[in-house]
Amino acid sequence: MDPHKRSATIEVMTGDETVIGGGRFDTDLAGFAAMRRYVNQIRPDIEDRVWAVEGCNGIGHHIAMRLLAAGEQVIDVPPKMSARARVFSTGQGRKTDATDAHSVALVGTRMSGLRPVVNDEQLAVLRLLVDRRRSLGEDHTRMISQLHALLLELIPGGAKKSLSAAQAKTLLATVRPRDVVGKTRRRVAAELITDLERVYARKKAADKELKELVAATGTSLLDLHGIGPSGAARLLVEVADITRFPNRDHFASWNGTAPIDASSGDNVRHRLSRAGNRQINRTLHIMATVQLRNDTEGRRYYDRRRADGKTPMEAMRALKRRLSNIVYRAMLDDAVRASAAAEVTGPGGQRGSDSDSSATGSQPQHRLFGQATPGPVTPQPRTPLPRVS
């Protein structure tokens, strides 16, 4: 499926890549029902079909959730993979909805290790809240920048860099402009301060709610220096199942902290990777920055790399790579504990359980974040979880 907001183009393909159908359908109630009726005519057995949907974390999320609710199996096809399949397929690389659907079908048929989409309510709630918290932070930064620009015009030299709403209000009280422009500038600044106070209160409430929800998952991420409620929630939301990464090197490559080999001949060097999950990369960067500001093991590791002749940027990249390993180890330990707890409480939360855990059904009712989610349709290398005695 190549999904859009109001339409979805599908192609029905067999395991040997024979195209046996396709079409374009609306995403409203009537269109969704017509699409399922069409597929039922070609593949009546719901257990004998899998929907490969492009961008299930983006534009395809809405229709993937509806397919899951209807009892269908859904796997997520990353847009980069379908784009590569389209470039190397016939048709001179033309990009239409039909060719996009064909590329998605090829990736879904050929590639192993594609993630199954799971309707996890706990994960969905965390994603909504952490996205809202990020939006509030962006609003706060934008308002502070606007306020600094206004105060620079009202007060010679402007205000200090770290400025709270209360401090800005105190500064503004000392200003009494006489001209019309000055009075208007002061009024706009006062409105910005009021908005800042409201945003700050919402940020505080969002942080409190996130902290409670993250703590309820039983994760140990909050114990790591430099990771707060927002960072821990972002890791839980984006990673979901840590065991899908065979080792810490795969995890580092996924989050963009693993350097890229750029060697040529006898010249051995590595360069910064700008690929990977940028939100997780940002979380690790904030973690590294916080550790550098304090007397931590991260600070000492950074100083050792600097003593070895690394530049500040190279030492920072090395620190982020090390912190990626630490986060991977913490999340893997959480998965081991959750797996052991599932074995004690019953098969409902155990990996591979046939009773409550499947790609087409609901998740175990008491599953914790970090516990393994159901495996993909095609087997892939995963990190084995040792048994805890």
Helix axes 121-154, 165-173, angle to 10 degrees: 20
- The rounded distance, in Å, linking the Cα atoms of 248 and 323 is 11
Neighbours of 312 (CB within 10 A): 11
Beta bridge partners of 7: 26
- The rounded distance, in Å, linking the Cα atoms of 106 and 185 is 59
**Residue 28: burial class (beta carbons within 10 Å; 0-12, 13-18, 19+):** exposed
Where b means 16+ CB within 10 Å and e means fewer, 10-23 reads bbbbeeeeeeeebe
pLDDT for the residue 210:
92
- The rounded distance, in Å, linking the Cα atoms of 299 and 293 is 8
Whole-structure pTM value: 0.74
- The rounded distance, in Å, linking the Cα atoms of 73 and 52 is 9
CA angle (235 as vertex; 124, 57 as ends), nearest 5: 45
Neighbours of 96 (CB within 10 A): 12
For residues 88, 90, 95 and 96, what is the CA-based torsion angle, rounded to 10 degrees?
-140
pLDDT for the residue 377:
42
Beta bridge partners of 26: 7
pLDDT for the residue 383:
64
Q: What is the pLDDT along the chain (389 residues), one digit of tens a residue?
A: 999 999 999 999 998 889 999 999 999 999 999 999 999 999 888 888 999 999 988 899 999 999 999 999 999 998 888 888 887 776 556 788 999 999 999 999 988 778 888 877 888 899 899 999 999 999 999 999 999 999 999 998 888 988 899 999 999 999 999 999 999 999 999 999 999 999 999 999 999 999 999 998 889 999 999 999 999 999 999 888 888 888 999 999 999 999 888 777 777 777 778 888 899 999 999 999 999 999 999 999 999 999 999 899 989 999 999 999 999 999 999 988 888 887 776 554 444 444 333 333 333 333 333 333 334 444 456 666 655 43
